[in-house]
Structure 1
């Protein structure tokens, strides 16, 4: 029986739906500071839905983003709270096989690799984040990487911890064999395969874009997988904006999302989950579909 690692879904959008706070550019970091119980509860809901890897709620807690919002002094606190929320959710779940993934995201802005820092600056920041997240983490996911530079710097810092490292690349929704930097997915996989990471997956792109990119991803020598988003488009989001400018698709309910994801599983994916706008109900539907198809979820 094939084993599939089932991830959680997106934290940020789901937290904003559950919170009564005004949306801010700090996004999920604001909720981490002010409503940490919401974060713990969402982790718990994903675990109950079947996820066996949950990701720390640190996506927007990078030094460059916090500097922009004049909140750099909260860096340590944000990571301590995120570590504790995930550890508490795992402990309360009663499940012995739930792993916690550290999150190394784009340092400045999602989907805008032109805003990236130099490799040396990026590596320094990623080492700082890796040190903060390492105590609670079983593995590292370098996620929503939109350029080879971002992915290389993040994975280099993560690999220094000695823990498993997964690289999650974001592809263009309208030119699916390109990263959002314009670099080809083919060249990215060729370079990243040589870094010693455990897996290369696609994330935070539309499911249709991931499906079209699959023939290229399958050429990787690593484990492969995917976790898509449920946005209609990401074109309106710019650095410093709030996520209110993004809209959720109305045609991507739990069953529909599971159908997309099962295509990836049937074509070699061993790591599956969801990204922005993919909630616990989507993960439950995906788990049910996996079990019904004879897969073992862990």
Structure 2
């Protein structure tokens, strides 16, 4: 199993390269995003494009590729009329990643499944309570997705964009129940008063409250994702106060206007390389990219890793 080798490397202090965005990269390559479910549905009709994205990340140096399942829980897909295709969509996403690994000729690449707590993507507005799925329905959907990803063949679960104070523990529970390795990625924002907050926008939640939800046992890495590069270091420092295992950093760039990512003021690969280098010196071991970032940004991560290793 490739993950066992990766885990040994992390235990020895090595740097691991995660891939870049999948959903926004599908859009960037001309695939239409679903107006109610964003990128998940695209896995069905765009297998070769998705496989090519994964292969391109592997060729750039990614050692972990992430299946396009961030927005593929039943609770999201049913809003677009695809609830009955939940298993088919997620299997298609994982198969594309596994196919990319096979075609790359690099069997050591680890295929991860993305597990988020997204429940509503139909607009940027905060929907009224009667339009929202219940917390019980959401938790059931997270548990279903975690088990589907395991059955489809992923070797690692990435908990992506953890920020919701009620749903984060449910996603953690669902992931740990699979018995698969788990990495925890939280998302942060800067408050109007300068404080570091959870990405949760309905009210200001100190990021420290989400950090407390990182399990003391059962996960192999924790870090910052879907967060601006300029606040990632501060968030990593806060995580490190609680969690002493491997740290991860995979920022985003641009912004989301459902159903499209806006590639606005995207950080350059050269600028991001310096951020990566700073995070490596801070203690991060896993670096990659999230929404808006591309193959060129992952090449920058590889360059930062090499520079860091050569300086040691």
- TM-score tier, shorter chain, comes to 0.7 to 0.9
In the alignment, structure 1 residue 123 sits paired with structure 2 residue 139: yes
SS of the residue corresponding to residue 117 of structure 2 reads: coil
In the alignment, structure 1 residue 230 sits paired with structure 2 residue 249: no
Q: Quote the offset at 1:265 in angstroms.
A: 1.0
What residue in structure 2 maps to residue 279 of structure 1?
Answer: 294
Task: Tell me, yes or no, if the aligned pair for 2:273 and 2:304 is still in contact at 8 Å.
Answer: yes
What residue in structure 1 maps to residue 65 of structure 2?
Answer: 54
Task: Tell me, yes or no, if the aligned pair for 1:176 and 1:212 is still in contact at 8 Å.
Answer: no
In the alignment, structure 1 residue 191 sits paired with structure 2 residue 213: yes
Task: State the distance in 2 between where 1:178 and 1:192 align.
Answer: 16
1:50-91 Cα shifts (integer Å, max 9, x gaps)? 111111111221212111111112211101111210111111
Task: Tell me, yes or no, if the aligned pair for 2:289 and 2:298 is still in contact at 8 Å.
Answer: yes
User: For this pair of structures, how many residues does the alignment match?
Assistant: 288
Counterparts in 2 of 1:176 and 1:196: CA distance versus 1, 3 Å: farther
- In the alignment, structure 1 segments of 5+ residues that lack a partner are none
Q: Quote the offset at 1:148 in angstroms.
A: 3.3
Counterparts in 2 of 1:23 and 1:122: CA distance versus 1, 3 Å: closer
What residue in structure 2 maps to residue 105 of structure 1?
Answer: 116
Task: State the distance in 1 between where 2:181 and 2:22 align.
Answer: 22
What residue in structure 1 maps to residue 43 of structure 2?
Answer: 32
In the alignment, structure 1 residue 132 sits paired with structure 2 residue 148: yes
> 205, 211, 231: which is aligned to 2:233?
211
In the alignment, structure 1 residue 69 sits paired with structure 2 residue 83: no
1:233-291 Cα shifts (integer Å, max 9, x gaps)? 45xx4xxx312xx4224351111111112211110111111000111111012102211
Task: State the distance in 2 between where 1:20 and 1:125 align.
Answer: 26
- In the alignment, structure 2 segments of 5+ residues that lack a partner are 1-11
Give TM-score, length-normalised by structure 1: 0.88
Task: State the distance in 1 between where 2:125 and 2:219 align.
Answer: 24
SS of the residue corresponding to residue 134 of structure 1 reads: helix
Give TM-score, length-normalised by structure 2: 0.84
What residue in structure 1 maps to residue 278 of structure 2?
Answer: 263
Counterparts in 2 of 1:22 and 1:9: CA distance versus 1, 3 Å: closer
Q: Quote the offset at 1:295 in angstroms.
A: 6.6
What residue in structure 1 maps to residue 199 of structure 2?
Answer: 180
CA RMSD, aligned part only?
A: 2.5
1:190-249 Cα shifts (integer Å, max 9, x gaps)? 332335322221110111121232321221233211110011x45xx4xxx312xx4224
1:81-122 Cα shifts (integer Å, max 9, x gaps)? 112101111111111321011111123147999988655433
> 237, 240, 247: which is aligned to 2:262?
247
